[in-house]
Amino acid sequence: MRMGARMVDRGSSSPLPEKIGTLLQESRWLAVGAVALFLTMALWGFNKEDASWSHAVVASGMHNPAGRAGAWVADLLLYIFGFSAWWWIVLLGMSVWWGFHKLNSAETPDRRPLFIALAGFVILLVASSALEALRFYTLNVELPLSPGGMLGIEISRFLASQFGYIGSTLFLLILMAAGWSIFSGMSWLWAFERLGALLETLAGFLYGRVDAWRDRKIG
């Protein structure tokens, strides 16, 4: 009987206290936040004079604030996606927000499967890169390749040959809107309703101010 009681006690005891489990989860999301901060510094501090993935140069120092690793990562992402590489920081930032919100809330903030949100992110990233290459190719900015990156250039060329520039632009804008909605879970109908309410409130405020100014002017 004693042995059975001991087995029951072992089975009922938690292998990991809840507090330690919560701390480990917080540490995980803090690590993701640190990666997002590192990537932000790397992309912001990109410099063509740094030795990196797409080219090798002889330099006396490192310009990227994230160091040699940051220079390589920034060069690789910007080479493939162009400025749309910044969407990776949005992904990491929203992951951190979702993780901490989940820890501090009894209800899950988003019940969608993870692969659905990631699929939306991929759609958003690809469409953004292609639109960047299609419409902003003349920007004189410091990039390892050109706006839109290698991915955006290839996709925009294909779309332009099939649908023309205007048709491709409309298609990519719709694709970006759909990708953002799937990725973030935001409803565009809800966003337009909120925007309409905000504009209505602003119009009422301005009308009230003008009306008050007229009353003071009349005396």
Q: What is the pTM of this model?
A: 0.77
Could you say which DSSP state residue 154 is in?
Answer: H
Could you say which DSSP state residue 147 is in?
Answer: T
Please tell me the predicted confidence (pLDDT) of residue 215: 67
Please tell me the predicted confidence (pLDDT) of residue 9: 47
Please tell me the predicted confidence (pLDDT) of residue 12: 47
pLDDT per position as a tens digit, 42-56? 999 998 888 777 776
Q: Which domain holds residue 218?
A: 187-219
Specify whether 98 is located in the same domain as 203. Answer: no
Which residue's entry shows tokens 């332009």?
Answer: 160
Q: How many domains does the chain have?
A: 2
Specify whether 181 is located in the same domain as 208. Answer: no
Mean pLDDT of 186-211: 80
Least confident of 100-104, 121-125, 179-183, 205-209: 100-104
pLDDT per position as a tens digit, 11-23? 445 555 667 766 7
Most confident stretch, 1-5, 54-58, 78-82: 78-82
Reduced 3-state DSSP string for 75-122: HHHHHHHHHHHHHHHHHHHHHHHHHHHHHHCCCCCCCCCHHHHHHHHH
- Who's near 111: CB < 8 A, 6+ residues apart? none
Please tell me the predicted confidence (pLDDT) of residue 49: 81
Specify whether 79 is located in the same domain as 53. Answer: yes
Specify whether 118 is located in the same domain as 154. Answer: yes
What's the token pair of residue 66? 């994230």
Please tell me the predicted confidence (pLDDT) of residue 109: 56
Specify whether 162 is located in the same domain as 202. Answer: no
Specify whether 100 is located in the same domain as 40. Answer: yes
d(CA 116, CA 96): 18
Specify whether 85 is located in the same domain as 137. Answer: yes
Neighbours of 33 (CB within 10 A): 17
Could you say which DSSP state residue 36 is in?
Answer: H
Please tell me the predicted confidence (pLDDT) of residue 169: 96
If pLDDT is split at 50, 70 and 90, which confidence band does 197 have? Answer: confident
- Average per-residue pLDDT in the chain? 83
Specify whether 160 is located in the same domain as 218. Answer: no
Please tell me the predicted confidence (pLDDT) of residue 124: 97
Nearest to 181 by CA among 169, 196, 191: 191
Specify whether 155 is located in the same domain as 214. Answer: no
Specify whether 147 is located in the same domain as 204. Answer: no
- Who's near 199: CB < 8 A, 6+ residues apart? none
pLDDT at 38 over 60: yes
The H or E element spanning position 144 is none
If pLDDT is split at 50, 70 and 90, which confidence band does 68 have? Answer: confident
Specify whether 108 is located in the same domain as 207. Answer: no
If pLDDT is split at 50, 70 and 90, which confidence band does 219 have? Answer: low
Specify whether 54 is located in the same domain as 86. Answer: yes
Could you say which DSSP state residue 45 is in?
Answer: T
d(CA 52, CA 83): 17
